[in-house]
Amino acid sequence: MTDLRYPIGKPQYKQDLTDSDRAALIAEFAIAPAELSAAVTTLSNEQLDTAYRPKGWTVRQVCHHLPDSHSNGYIRAKLALTEENPVIKPYMEDRWADLDDSKLPISIALSHYTAVQARWHALWETIRGEQWQRCYIHPEYDQKFSMDYLLQLYSWHGQHHLAQINALKSRQGWK
């Protein structure tokens, strides 16, 4: 049986990305908001407020989590590109998902996700050469993470949450 938390599996990271690898990841990253919108815009409020798995977030919370997470990731990318190994500020995503703004209409989450992805996509498109090895430090792990890592993580992240929603729709027989 598939793990409902990771319907596409946990992220896999390549150490030495080629320009072709990066281009494919950037393309996948760019279409994520449209794919999410197509998956959720026909759902009712009751469906949006259904957890994608037992003890998991609702579809609505997942949709609001994506722009929250990607906004943080985008800022981390900008910090890594403009500072020397900056230490980033972690955030408690589970607590963010419980805040009342995660109960707002889905259109707000989709607009925010589309906007942050568009800005971040434009940034990805400008990164060249050794900039891909620029890093930030995550204090929870006391480890450096590169732009190559960040691209792989967030390309996976959008597809990961989309798969959670689509798996729920399939199990429930929702169109």
Domains of the chain (ranges plus CATH)?
19-172 (1.20.120.450)
CA distance 165 to 65: 13
End-to-end CA distance of the chain: 23
Give the residues of the chain that fall short of pLDDT 50. none
Determine the pLDDT at residue 1: 59
- Residue 2 is predicted with a pLDDT of 77
Report the run of H or E that residue 124 belongs to, with start and end. helix 106-126
pLDDT at 158: 98
Burial (0-12, 13-18, 19+ Cβ within 10 Å), 70? buried
Determine the pLDDT at residue 99.
Answer: 97
Closest listed residue to residue 161, CA positions, set 169, 173, 150? 169
Q: Do the beta carbons of residue 174 and residue 124 sit within 8 Å?
A: no
- Sequence-distant (6+) residues with CB within 8 A of 72 are 91
Q: Summarize pLDDT for 143-166 with one digit per residue, the tens.
A: 999 999 999 999 999 999 999 999
Q: List beta partners, residue 51.
A: 58
Residue 70 dihedral angles phi and psi, to the nearest 5° = -75, -25
**CB of 134 within 8 A of CB of 80?**
yes
| Chain segment 98-110, per-residue pLDDT in tens | 999 999 999 999 9
